[in-house]
Amino acid sequence: MTDTLSSAHPYDNVLPDLLRHADNMKWTKYGQDVLPLWVADMDFPVAPAILDALHQRLERSLGYYQMMGDPDLKALLIDKLGRDGLTGLKPEGLSFLPGVVPGLYAAVQGLTEPGDEVLIFTPSYPPFLSAVTDHGRVSREVPLRLTPQGYELDMPALEGAVTSRTKLLMLCHPHNPTGRVWTADELRELADFAARHELYVVSDELHADLRFSDAPAFIPFASQDDATAQRTVTLTGPCKTYNVAGLGIGAMLSHNAELVARLERSVKGIMGHPGGLSVTMWRSALTGGAQWRTQTLAYLQANRDFLAQFLASELPSVPFAAPQATYLAWLDLRGHPRAADIQQFLLDEARIALNDGPTFGQGYQGFVRLNFATSRELLQDGLERLAGAVKGL
Ligand SMILES: Cc1ncc(COP(=O)(O)O)c(C=O)c1O
């Protein structure tokens, strides 16, 4: 296990009493004695650069801002995405969103018709599924396979799921909840598959900046070649990396500006725009957030290693693949006698709140998702509660 942390890391001092306030969903949904390890927030404070920028903005004004798409933020984001490998984006191919989930919905609305089918790898971040089914489209769920190397794409199953009504493939890269960063070979296979079946692709790359040092190199899906770029809409935002979900903002972007325009038209007048403070926040994250991100990532990676070692020693029969990115762990507790209501069982018996498997797709009863973006002490407490309840201690 690698532990790069000193004992005096500021994130060791996560204080439940400070977090448990009305503005915080994670810490208030369940009872006071419940340790919340569910929704994907971090328990860590906001980056100093972001706090400073927000203070200054509040002192300046709160009038209308560049609602049609702040050119400075666009330039910063295009530059950042270029450094990530997504070069050649034009400002007209980038549009801001009040959050990434609205972008998932806009993509389904804009790129498919009612009755069309959409391919989704499961387990899946739940709004992928609801974005499809809430508006009369049909989701085709394609389960990932757990192999000794970790979660993998099942290409034969993906091929088998295509019909003449299939229009769109929704990819999560890195993947929530397994934490997979898809490799060059996997992305190539998916790009060839999309080309063969003439599918649009939405690639949600919201977790891309939370990759651990041992993850494969990150390749933006649309960066693979021109034809792939032309059929792809990429979604991104700052909320996972900088723990700023309360200030909703995201972006949809494509080398094919007409696709972005199509998404905009499909939700015109309904979508809304991000608030001015969120624009200030994202700009400051991109210009001054690097050090905070590096420190946070190191803490998360050490937490991941701690979690993996804990499971290996205390719950060795629980199938688990350590995530390559982000702060979510996908646990297979189907072997437990209470697998049929495992989330409720752990809430009642262990007083820990986890996300329930069935919300991630069909066939995931008995699975739970655990968020390890908290202090080491609280993570250890949560894991001990989990192991105690699972082993029936
Ligand atoms: C893959 C993915 N997309 C989107 C979101 C939510 O984005 P937003 O809060 O900006 O709507 C999440 C949140 O966990 C996520 O994991």
Same domain membership, residue 150 and residue 119: yes
Residue 234 maps to a domain: yes
Residue 28 maps to a domain: yes
Residue 57 maps to a domain: no
Tell me the per-residue pLDDT of 141-162, one tens digit each, with 9 for 90 and over.
999 999 999 999 999 999 999 9
Q: If pLDDT is split at 50, 70 and 90, which confidence band does 1 have?
A: very low
- Per the structure block, which two tokens stand in for 133? 């089914």
Residue 54 maps to a domain: no
Among 268, 288, 308, give the residue marking a domain's end.
Answer: 288
- Chain centroid, CA 176 distance in Å: 5
- Residue 61: per-residue pLDDT: 87
Contacts of 251 (CB under 8 A, 6+ apart): 77, 94, 95, 96, 97, 103, 235, 236, 237
- Residue 2: per-residue pLDDT: 42
Q: Percent of the chain beyond pLDDT 70?
A: 98
Same domain membership, residue 233 and residue 205: yes
In whole angstroms, what is the distance from residue 243 CA to residue 366 CA? 29
Residue 40 in contact with ligand 1 by CB distance below 6 A? yes
- Residue 206: per-residue pLDDT: 98
Residue 332 maps to a domain: yes
Same domain membership, residue 134 and residue 93: yes
Residue 236 maps to a domain: yes
Mean pLDDT value of segment 43-64: 96
pLDDT at 6 over 80: no
By alpha-carbon position, which residue is closest to atom 2 of ligand 1?
Answer: 206
Mean pLDDT value of segment 272-281: 96
Residue 191 maps to a domain: yes
Same domain membership, residue 206 and residue 67: yes
Among 288, 323, 341, give the residue marking a domain's end.
Answer: 288
By alpha-carbon position, which residue is closest to atom 14 of ligand 1?
Answer: 40
Same domain membership, residue 130 and residue 95: yes
Same domain membership, residue 23 and residue 66: no
Coil, strand, or helix at residue 83?
A: helix
Query: What sign results for the dihedral spanned by CA atoms 322, 324, 327, 330?
Result: negative
Same domain membership, residue 366 and residue 243: no
In whole angstroms, what is the distance from residue 332 CA to residue 123 CA? 11
Question: Tell me, what CATH number does 378's domain have?
Answer: 3.90.1150.10
Q: Best substitution site from 26, 101, 108 to test ligand 1's pocket, by max atoms within 8 Å of Cβ?
A: 101
Among 226, 257, 288, give the residue marking a domain's end.
Answer: 288
Q: Counting atoms of ligand 1 from 1, which one is nearest the CA of 326?
A: 16
Residue whose C-alpha is closest to residue 24's, from 383, 282, 327, 374: 374
Same domain membership, residue 190 and residue 236: yes
Q: Counting atoms of ligand 1 from 1, which one is nearest the CA of 99?
A: 10
Tell me the per-residue pLDDT of 12-36, one tens digit each, with 9 for 90 and over.
998 898 899 989 999 999 999 999 9
Residue 210 in contact with ligand 1 by CB distance below 6 A? no
Same domain membership, residue 332 and residue 274: no
Mean pLDDT score of the chain, rounded to an integer? 96
For 3, 17, 277, 285, the CA distances from 51, given in Å and listed in that order, are: 29, 21, 11, 10
Q: If pLDDT is split at 50, 70 and 90, which confidence band does 7 have?
A: low
Mean pLDDT value of segment 117-131: 98
Same domain membership, residue 300 and residue 205: no
Contacts of 164 (CB under 8 A, 6+ apart): none
How many structural domains is the chain composed of?
2
Q: Which domain holds residue 118?
A: 62-288
Residue 249 in contact with ligand 1 by CB distance below 6 A? no
Same domain membership, residue 336 and residue 261: no
Contacts of 301 (CB under 8 A, 6+ apart): 2, 4, 212, 213
Query: What sign results for the dihedral spanned by CA atoms 315, 321, 327, 328?
Result: negative
pLDDT at 56 over 70: yes
Residue 329 in contact with ligand 1 by CB distance below 6 A? no
Question: Tell me, what CATH number does 265's domain have?
Answer: 3.40.640.10
Residue 253 in contact with ligand 1 by CB distance below 6 A? no
Residue 206 maps to a domain: yes
Same domain membership, residue 263 and residue 115: yes
In whole angstroms, what is the distance from residue 222 CA to residue 205 CA? 11
Within 10 angstroms of residue 353's Cβ, the number of other Cβ atoms is 24
For 7, 18, 29, 240, 288, the CA distances from 22, given in Å and listed in that order, are: 31, 11, 10, 21, 29
Asked if 49 and 292 touch (Cβ cutoff 8 Å), the reply is yes
Tokens 């325009």 found at: 261
Is the pTM higher than 0.85? The answer reads yes
Mean pLDDT value of segment 292-303: 98
- Residue 248: per-residue pLDDT: 96
pLDDT at 3 over 50: no
